[in-house]
Chain A
């Protein structure tokens, strides 16, 4: 016990003694949280569109007024020729341009089907699709108002959509809980991977190995600081998410901390494996990068796991972030019940045990 506590105290000092490293432990994860939350916007806001109105009638003007009134659009540029339209799209001044034919107004007045041309910038395909969706919705709504009778007759009553767990479909409700999983992983693996490698590089490792400290004492001592830092950052996010970003936390705090703790152990296992395999800090740094990127990409945060090819989906079962992502989203947004939490938790426990055992083995094997 005396040995273990000496080891833990030493590791804590090594991490916290330098005021600069204390700042590095807390400030970058917070900065990342803010930058990521605002930068990874999944919906399209503040887009500029252009309009080439050849009809000059009331209906075209009314339609454009609705576009202007939508919060998604910012500027509407008026164009006078197809050349100008080309330029505007080509120079990425606007993402979409609407074209009203000369007979648009006349046809609408007569009650005939009328079309609005939409030119989209296919280079930004994702955003363009979303913009196209917005425009169709506006067109559909306008059309329905003009011909309520016909719509009713045709029976196209339209659907009433309710978005469960995120009623206003605010993207930040999705990204913020996911970011907790991602940023905790980046910091946790980075800190752990340096720990053993640093001692190897500085030559203190031999000194440690000739002391009566047992391998498990050394490893536990090295696990404690990244664990505590991870718990601290996780708790910080738990406070910031509702207070600053307005994302509600609906689940059980107890389950959240339990899940976070198990997740951290799995991450520390991965980091320790990298560290035990590395001879220098530089190798450890590259190794942690090598581990972190697939961990994030395969978690389901960047792209839905269901869209991945089958074999890759199998690989994602080994990714601790995959489980914690489900857990943290569930706990934030839908008060995930304990039974469901445990369903995601046991694979994390398996991963943690496997990686920690492997790193202890590698640690012994690499001694020679």
Chain B
């Protein structure tokens, strides 16, 4: 292996008492993709900014392209997480601007632009404003702008954020081509499945390196400890809860009708008999994932029983659907953001809205929780019509948004107090609920801390606490776990699974295919329409038919179904 294009040793960076990076070392090799992996707030962006020369480290030795950071800017390509593009300029103008900024000679521009536009497949959109591009196209254009002068080192800060699986695949393919030209790429990401595609991975968590090396080295040790269990008698959520409560299981997730378990190191892999889940139970080995290795490094996932669910009221059974959409349509001017959405979710189920960004899943979600008035159609939450009984509908739902949307400059306690009051809890009820939430989510020591300064995991707990304090029969979750570490995500789903067992109905939007697996039913929204609906297993089966793949993942299913819809559209257009 030739010398690293960028290397750092013992990098320390502190921000006002918070240590963002604590003795991190990294080497970026030429011609390879080096992954910088970790949840939000792990220190990824800080490290990239230090390497790009935008920020100085407090301690540590750093060499970029043989000099100090910021010296060899001509050979450095950098794509920031946001703000990299000028949204009011067209695609071509953005490229020209970057060419000017990077000092690309005028006569070389045309061939370079040709090549980049071909490469990114943006040729058709040259005259479109960058702000009007989809998330995936924006990232491709950002990449093209970073490449106007072929760099030796390319720093990519979370290029996969806000990008649907299809565009993500294309981005990976593009970056793969670049490494073939000998460019050293540093790709940062919070998606653990992306880590598996890197040549070398640096796993960051709260400013320290948990792991470095090829991804296989992390998954290797857990390889024969991952099993898939099918055919159990109990409901899948119940089975998962019981399995997670076992001593020999350290992690588990739902995958359609099956459950995937990670066994504790040194314990014997349980067979069907030990699991005692009915005569048809089958246990088979499953492929290890990067996430399994990460979870093990973090000391395993949470237990299966949710304290939150234990004290939650039992939602009374009912025959009427808890969430209903009948022909919901929303137009903005002559643009239709969501067309004719139809579904009905019975009590005690998780329903997922899946789809690329901008496809209409947020619009549908917002209509159902009362943030948008539908142009046509009706909807109901817990039997309350959205138009006629909006306030009652709102009182019967709990809402948790993707972004931390509590009051960051109020303390934890003040946030809890406010939401208890906003949801009409009486004085003693509120006191009880707050006490319970404090205990369940371990907030006791942080009651007087500003919510905005909490670590990400605690913010997430607090957001869930505020959403469920009034024990609503329906929960609305908008990308609830994006960017959090896998243990926090497991904990979150443990609670949600527990609540669903108590009869709570959940509507979730997500582009995390893992999360889709937890759903009882999903609907895939693409170009403002529902293109496929059914159980996750049914969608995977359909995808298998379409693509011929043997055991497609949810992500494969997503891609296959969208490609199929595109083909159908093209056929229709041609006819």
Question: Which of A92-100, A155-163, A171-179, A203-211 lies at the interface?
Answer: A203-211
Q: A203-B403, A209-B370, A212-B394 are in contact. Are A9 and B421 (CB under 8 A)?
A: yes
**Are B399 and A207 neighbours in the complex by a CB distance under 8 Å?**
yes
Residue interface bits A356-368, CB-to-B below 8 A is 1, else 0 = 0000000000011
**Are A204 and B373 neighbours in the complex by a CB distance under 8 Å?**
no
Within the complex, the shortest CB–CB distance from B415 to chain A, in Å, comes to: 9
Q: Please report which residues of chain B, range 108-133, place their CB below 8 angstroms from some CB of chain A when the two chains form the complex.
A: none
Interface-central residue, A5, A209, A210, A214, by most chain B CB under 10 Å: A210
- Complex Cα distance A210/B401, Å? 11
A7 close to chain B: CB less than 8 A? yes
B421 CB contacts on chain A under 8 angstroms: 2-3, 5-7, 9-10
**Are B406 and A209 neighbours in the complex by a CB distance under 8 Å?**
no
Closest 7 CB pairs of A and B: A6-B421, A212-B395, A10-B418, A210-B399, A211-B422, A207-B405, A203-B405
A9 CB contacts on chain B under 8 angstroms: 414, 417-418, 421
B338 close to chain A: CB less than 8 A? no
- Complex Cα distance A340/B391, Å? 45
- Complex Cα distance A17/B450, Å? 10
B420 close to chain A: CB less than 8 A? yes
Q: Please report which residues of chain B, range 394-441, place their CB below 8 angstroms from some CB of chain A when the two chains form the complex.
A: 394-395, 397, 399, 401, 403-411, 414, 417-426
- Per a CB cutoff under 8 Å, which of B369, B405, B417 touches A204? B405
New A-B contacts (17) at CB < 8 Å, excluding given A3-B421, A10-B421: A3-B422, A5-B421, A6-B421, A6-B422, A7-B418, A10-B414, A10-B417, A14-B407, A17-B414, A203-B403, A204-B405, A209-B371, A210-B371, A212-B394, A212-B395, A212-B424, A367-B371
A202 close to chain B: CB less than 8 A? yes
Residue ranges of A at the interface with B (Cβ–Cβ < 8 Å): 2-3, 5-7, 9-10, 13-14, 17-18, 202-204, 206-214, 367-368
- Per a CB cutoff under 8 Å, which of A202, A213, A367 touches B422? A213
Within the complex, the shortest CB–CB distance from A349 to chain B, in Å, comes to: 30
B408 CB contacts on chain A under 8 angstroms: 202
**Are A17 and B409 neighbours in the complex by a CB distance under 8 Å?**
yes
Residue interface bits B362-396, CB-to-A below 8 A is 1, else 0 = 00000001111100000000000000000110110
Within the complex, the shortest CB–CB distance from B360 to chain A, in Å, comes to: 15
- Complex Cα distance A255/B414, Å? 37
B391 CB contacts on chain A under 8 angstroms: 212, 214
A-B residue pairs in contact (CB < 8 Å), sample of 16: A5-B421, A9-B418, A9-B421, A13-B414, A14-B407, A202-B405, A203-B405, A206-B399, A207-B401, A207-B406, A211-B399, A211-B422, A212-B394, A212-B422, A212-B423, A214-B391
A202 CB contacts on chain B under 8 angstroms: 405, 408
A2 CB contacts on chain B under 8 angstroms: 421, 424-426
**Are B407 and A204 neighbours in the complex by a CB distance under 8 Å?**
yes
**Are A210 and B406 neighbours in the complex by a CB distance under 8 Å?**
no
A212 CB contacts on chain B under 8 angstroms: 391-392, 394-395, 422-424
Which size bracket describes the interface of B in this complex?
Answer: 20 to 34
B476 close to chain A: CB less than 8 A? yes
B422 CB contacts on chain A under 8 angstroms: 3, 6-7, 208, 211-213
A10 CB contacts on chain B under 8 angstroms: 407, 410, 414, 417-418, 421
A7 CB contacts on chain B under 8 angstroms: 418, 421-422
A205's nearest neighbour on chain B, judged by CB, is B405
A209 CB contacts on chain B under 8 angstroms: 370-371
B476 CB contacts on chain A under 8 angstroms: 210
Which secondary structure characterizes the binding site on chain B?
A: loop
Residue ranges of B at the interface with A (Cβ–Cβ < 8 Å): 369-373, 391-392, 394-395, 397, 399, 401, 403-411, 414, 417-426, 476
- Complex Cα distance A3/B420, Å? 9
- Complex Cα distance A210/B370, Å? 7
- Per a CB cutoff under 8 Å, which of A5, A14, A203, A210 touches B369? A210
- Complex Cα distance A202/B414, Å? 17
- Complex Cα distance A6/B403, Å? 23
Q: A6-B418, A9-B421, A214-B391 are in contact. Are A206 and B409 (CB under 8 A)?
A: no
A212's nearest neighbour on chain B, judged by CB, is B395
Within the complex, the shortest CB–CB distance from B466 to chain A, in Å, comes to: 8
Within the complex, the shortest CB–CB distance from A218 to chain B, in Å, comes to: 10
- Complex Cα distance A35/B407, Å? 36
A367 CB contacts on chain B under 8 angstroms: 371-372
B394's nearest neighbour on chain A, judged by CB, is A212
Within the complex, the shortest CB–CB distance from A204 to chain B, in Å, comes to: 5
**Are B424 and A203 neighbours in the complex by a CB distance under 8 Å?**
no
A210 CB contacts on chain B under 8 angstroms: 369-371, 394, 397, 399, 476
Q: A13-B410, A212-B394 are in contact. Are A206 and B425 (CB under 8 A)?
A: no
- Complex Cα distance A17/B410, Å? 7
**Are B423 and A368 neighbours in the complex by a CB distance under 8 Å?**
no
**Are A6 and B417 neighbours in the complex by a CB distance under 8 Å?**
yes
- Complex Cα distance A213/B422, Å? 6
- Complex Cα distance A5/B418, Å? 9
**Are B419 and A204 neighbours in the complex by a CB distance under 8 Å?**
no
Within the complex, the shortest CB–CB distance from A90 to chain B, in Å, comes to: 51
Within the complex, the shortest CB–CB distance from A175 to chain B, in Å, comes to: 37
Within the complex, the shortest CB–CB distance from A95 to chain B, in Å, comes to: 52
**Are B373 and A368 neighbours in the complex by a CB distance under 8 Å?**
yes
Interface-central residue, B404, B407, B426, by most chain A CB under 10 Å: B407
B407 CB contacts on chain A under 8 angstroms: 10, 14, 204
Within the complex, the shortest CB–CB distance from B370 to chain A, in Å, comes to: 6
- Complex Cα distance A3/B394, Å? 13
Q: A204-B405, A206-B401 are in contact. Are A6 and B410 (CB under 8 A)?
A: no
Within the complex, the shortest CB–CB distance from B367 to chain A, in Å, comes to: 10
B398's nearest neighbour on chain A, judged by CB, is A210
A207 CB contacts on chain B under 8 angstroms: 399, 401, 405-406
A18's nearest neighbour on chain B, judged by CB, is B409
A5 CB contacts on chain B under 8 angstroms: 421
A208's nearest neighbour on chain B, judged by CB, is B422
**Are B401 and A203 neighbours in the complex by a CB distance under 8 Å?**
yes
**Are A211 and B410 neighbours in the complex by a CB distance under 8 Å?**
no
A211 CB contacts on chain B under 8 angstroms: 394, 399, 419, 422-423
B407's nearest neighbour on chain A, judged by CB, is A204
Within the complex, the shortest CB–CB distance from A22 to chain B, in Å, comes to: 13
Within the complex, the shortest CB–CB distance from A354 to chain B, in Å, comes to: 26
A13 CB contacts on chain B under 8 angstroms: 410, 414
B418 CB contacts on chain A under 8 angstroms: 6-7, 9-10
- Complex Cα distance A84/B407, Å? 68
A8's nearest neighbour on chain B, judged by CB, is B421
A204's nearest neighbour on chain B, judged by CB, is B405
- Complex Cα distance A202/B403, Å? 9
Within the complex, the shortest CB–CB distance from A40 to chain B, in Å, comes to: 36
- Complex Cα distance A13/B451, Å? 13
- Complex Cα distance A212/B417, Å? 15
B395's nearest neighbour on chain A, judged by CB, is A212
A11's nearest neighbour on chain B, judged by CB, is B418
B425 CB contacts on chain A under 8 angstroms: 2
- Complex Cα distance A209/B422, Å? 11
B410 CB contacts on chain A under 8 angstroms: 10, 13-14, 17
B414's nearest neighbour on chain A, judged by CB, is A13
- Complex Cα distance A217/B476, Å? 23
Within the complex, the shortest CB–CB distance from A306 to chain B, in Å, comes to: 47
- Complex Cα distance A214/B418, Å? 15
- Complex Cα distance A2/B422, Å? 7
**Are A368 and B372 neighbours in the complex by a CB distance under 8 Å?**
yes
